[in-house]
Amino acid sequence: MSFNKIRTTAFLLVFFSFFFTASSMALKKPEIHHELEVKLLPDRQKLLGKASITLPEAKPEMHFLLAHSARVNQVNLEGKKLAYTFSNGILEVKLPRERNGLEATLEISYQGLFDDEVHPGYTEDPTQGVSSTIKKEGSFLSGRSGWYPDPRQGPATWSITIIAPPGYLAVTAGKLVEQSTTSEHSRSVWKVDYPLRDLTLSAGPYQVGTDLDGDIPVYTYFYPQSTDLKTDYLQATRRHLEFYQELLGPYPFEKFAVVENFFPTGYGFPSWTLLGSAVIRLPFIMETSLPHEIAHSWWGNGVRVDYSQGNWSEAVTTYVADYLLLEHSSDKEAHEYRRRILRGYSSLVTEKNDFPLSRFMSRDSRESQVIGYGKGAMIFHMLRKKVGDEVFWNGLRLMAGENMFQEVGWNDFAELFSDLADKDLKPFFEQWVQKPGAPLLTLQKVSFTGQEGDWTVRGIVRQEEPFFKLRLPLYLETKEQPVKAELLMEGDEKSFVLKSESMPLRLSVDPETHIFRRLHPEEIAPTVESVRGSESLTAVFADGLSEQEVLAAGMLLQTLNREDVRMVSEKNFANEKMHNDDVLFLGLPRNFADPLLDLIERKELEAGDFLSDSMSVSGQEKALFVALNPGGRPDTTWAYFISSSPEAARDAARRIPHYGSYSYLLFDKGEIRSRDTWEPENSPLEHDFTDQNLK
């Protein structure tokens, strides 16, 4: 990787820039300082709190956000009680007129009940409906849930002491000052010297793992049943921290902690991540979600997002974590990841639900995710190809070093990379960030003439509206050396001429998928996402399913967020006039099973072992999902969801949406046993010369 070849002078400039920025911010007088003391009562789902809030410029009337469930006991200023009102989550405090514009420290004592229940749903909401909850199994208090009085006047520094039952430890941002437990209570003290807009807290009956060997302390806060994972997570965290410090510059926080949560989450906070109990046991998490959340230490939690220009942090984090680690593994895996991004966008995003990256704020649906994360990551990939590795990685290091704890937007990336590359890249960012959509390209009128030693290939690349300015890689495979070229395209079509000394065999446009574009139907393998994104989907319940089996199979529609579709029985579907609508068969249909059985036999799929002579899935804990193109029609998807029991159906239905890019999924005892994505056979951006006669 070229970032290992970055010049020493560039590294020193970035390092001292970061050191100066971070040190200056640490010495700068903070706008606001919170001194919090809270006592957690898990058996009563209650919090007792005292907040000392230092305001640099007090106003005659101050307003604080506080949870609706809270009760304010008293508000003091320098030992004197102040008048206040508390209604609908707003605490209004009246200060003496003579304190207007001066520094003031208000002391607010309060208590509150925090009892959000976990509501596992089938949406993209990562909170599971929980904003703030205090329970024996664990507590989660999000930064904007009102668990402390919040003046909402911008970033602040923090000191917090948490008292809880014995062994019930608390974790939050910042530096660990003290953590102890006695027979009477536990005590956790944290200090945050860098500016944060809000503070999130997690607590529970944790056992702590530590790695203090490096410059950055690393911790795990796991429940007793998960301590066997401690060593692996400490080692993986240390390894990822070292990787990203080399790649992006100094780590901006005092520690990193991996914290277990009692309900499924995948959160990244400044200096820590919160992962659900079920999540941390997944074998791939240490090489996927964990590095993603660590990378957020630089992007989003470190360098902050100017949301007026859209959320860029998920795009660059996805690129330097999810994508880059695959690139280090193999070129093939990296290429397949880029193809998955294009497949996801092409399957799920339509003209109706598309929007520009400048409007992406956060993931609230799979459709928004493939734009904000996937398309965004491809923008950074195209930028890297455009400016080169050295400029790209130097640019990211400079962005982090010069803007740590500051807000930046897409325009700042455009300006910085324009300066480093010595070219105006603002049109590039305007096209890909401000404009929705993606180019749809077709290779047409391809021909070749000539003789041995002198061949000429001609053709046209067409583009449908909206038009994008593109630099398209052309790759001509010949009997000997390939011919590579680039085609600059701006409008509806562009012709090209290629010369070769060896006989042409195959012509491809962007065969390595370096350009973000919309795929044609014949380039998109039928997958889970094809079903989810279908605009003409019908759900067909197989004849013979019991009521319990119908309800269990129907859960898949919920998890795919497709409860809007038309649902019919197999009998009624058979009586209808057949058309080209997409279909999701729930249960194995007697009259429409041939495409599935033919596919299983042709590809020798392991699923064949699970289908008995009675055409049902054998065993008690198995489930199968298969998507295909019936009759080879690329614009039509038929999918089959078959299970051996209602329990197996419900379990698989919860998991299938997480495998959106796959065509074939086989579950056994709740675990994925086999999976695959079909390879498309044709592409409108490829031309095969082997059967073409010379002209």
Is CATH 3.10.129.10 what the domain over 31-192 is classified as, yes or no? no
Instruction: Assess whether pLDDT exceeds 70 at residue 105.
Output: yes
Average pLDDT, the chain: 90
CATH number of 2-10+303-434: 1.10.390.10
> Residue 531: which of 505, 507, 561, 509 has the closest Cα?
561
Query: In this predicted model, what pLDDT tens digit does every residue of 32-71 receive, in sequence order?
Result: 999 999 999 999 999 999 999 999 998 999 999 999 999 9
CB 66 within 8 A of CB 86: yes
Q: Where are the domains of the chain?
A: 2-10+303-434, 31-192, 441-521, 525-676
Please tell me if the domain spanning 31-192 has the same topology as the one spanning 441-521: yes
Is CATH 2.60.40 what the domain over 525-676 is classified as, yes or no? no
How many CB atoms are closer than 10 A to CB 375? 26
Locus of tokens 């959106």? 660
How many CB atoms are closer than 10 A to CB 171? 28
Tell me the mean pLDDT in the region 399-411: 97
Q: List CB contacts of 673: < 8 A, sequence separation 6 or more.
A: 606, 666, 667
Instruction: Assess whether pLDDT exceeds 70 at residue 638.
Output: yes
Residue 221 to residue 255: CA distance in whole angstroms: 13
Q: Backbone phi, then psi, for 10, in 5-degree steps?
A: -65, -40
Residue 643 to residue 207: CA distance in whole angstroms: 39
Q: Which two tokens stand for residue 428?
A: 């590039």
Instruction: Assess whether pLDDT exceeds 60 at residue 337.
Output: yes
Query: In this predicted model, what pLDDT tens digit does every residue of 109-130 receive, in sequence order?
Result: 999 999 988 766 544 555 666 8
Query: In this predicted model, what pLDDT tens digit does every residue of 306-335 receive, in sequence order?
Result: 999 999 999 999 999 999 999 999 999 999
Question: Could you tell me the sign of the dihedral formed by the alpha carbons of 204, 206, 211, 212, in that order?
Answer: positive
CATH of 441-521, one of 3.30.43, 3.30.2320, 3.90.1200, 2.60.40: 2.60.40
Query: In this predicted model, what pLDDT tens digit does every residue of 201-248 receive, in sequence order?
Result: 999 999 999 999 989 999 999 999 999 999 999 999 999 999 999 999
List the single range of 158-167, 169-178, 382-391, 577-586 with lowest mean pLDDT: 577-586
> From residue 280, how far is each of 269, 309, 657 by CA, in Å?
17, 34, 19
**What is the DSSP annotation of 624-642?**
EEEEE-GGG-TT--EEEEE
Locus of tokens 């030992």? 79
Tell me, rounded to whole angstroms, the distance of Cα 664 from its chain centroid.
23
Q: How many CA atoms lie within 13 A of 48 on its CB side?
A: 5
Query: In this predicted model, what pLDDT tens digit does every residue of 412-456 receive, in sequence order?
Result: 999 999 999 999 999 999 999 999 999 999 999 999 999 888 999
**What is the DSSP annotation of 341-391?**
HHHHHHHH--TTT---GGG--S-SSHHHHIIIIIIHHHHHHHHHHHH-HHH
Q: Which two tokens stand for residue 35?
A: 């001194």
Locus of tokens 């804990």? 621
Residue 623 to residue 555: CA distance in whole angstroms: 13
Predicted pLDDT of residue 7: 35
List the single range of 21-35, 457-471, 501-515, 673-687 with lowest mean pLDDT: 21-35
* 187 class by beta-carbon count within 10 Å (0-12 exposed, 13-18 middle, 19+ buried): middle
